[in-house]
Every structure is written in structure tokens, then in C-alpha cells.
Amino acid sequence: MQIEDYEFGRIVIDGQVYTDDIIIIGDTIYSNWWRKKGHELQSEDISRIIEAEPGVLVVGNGYYGRMTVRESAREAVERIGCELIVKKTGDATQTYNELDDKDDVAAAFHLSC
């Protein structure tokens, strides 16, 4: 799976355009991802990812980096032995593309703010 383009509020993955926040687990994309509190990432917001137990989680915290990752989310990721990478979404999409073994990678991308 390859991210072809990202701009504020829009991401293109393998030719498909998404305009809502998304989660990627392996080769599955879950669109229209919502968080309990809009600009805070909490453990319950990534429960689907935690259940999948990836080796790496790439979080795009928004175009301007305004989404914060709460300690509960960090602890949940740490408990499963997953590496957490948090960057502004533009940088996070590049990091995701650079990772080789996508089967062991999950991503959560906030597309705006």
C-alpha cells in the first residue's frame, strides 16, 4: 500500500481519495475515523490497532500537528511492544511509505489541523 499524495484534509492511497481521518492496519483502510475528543488521541481511539498488535504505529497528528497523543494511548501501544512514531501528517505519510514490512505496520492519520 502506497500513499501517493497528502494535503490538508485529503490523502490518496493506491489511487483512492480519502477526505476523512483514516486508520490503516496491514492492507486494510478504515475511513471516517473519529476520536473521543477531536484533537486528543486516547487509548480507546486506537483499540482496533491495539487488538491487531502491529510492530509499528505511525501517527499523523495533523497538518499543523495539533492532535496530541495522550499518555493512555502511549501506554497502550507500549504494552503490546509496538514502536510509536508521531509526526505531523505530511511527515508521517512519508515515514509510512519508507517502512518496508507493511504487514507489521499500522497508521492513524488525522488529515486536518
- What's the pTM value of the predicted model, to 2 decimals? 0.95
- 95 falls within a domain: no
**pLDDT attached to residue 102:** 84
Q: Are 85 and 56 in contact (CB under 8 A)?
A: yes
- 74 falls within a domain: yes
Mean of all residue pLDDT scores within the chain: 96
**Domain membership of residue 11 as a residue range:** 1-79+109-113
Closest CA to 111 of 44, 33, 53: 33
Give pLDDT tens digits for 22-40.
999 999 999 999 999 989 9
**pLDDT attached to residue 38:** 84
Give pLDDT tens digits for 48-84.
999 999 999 999 999 999 999 999 999 999 999 999 9
Count structural domains, the chain: 1
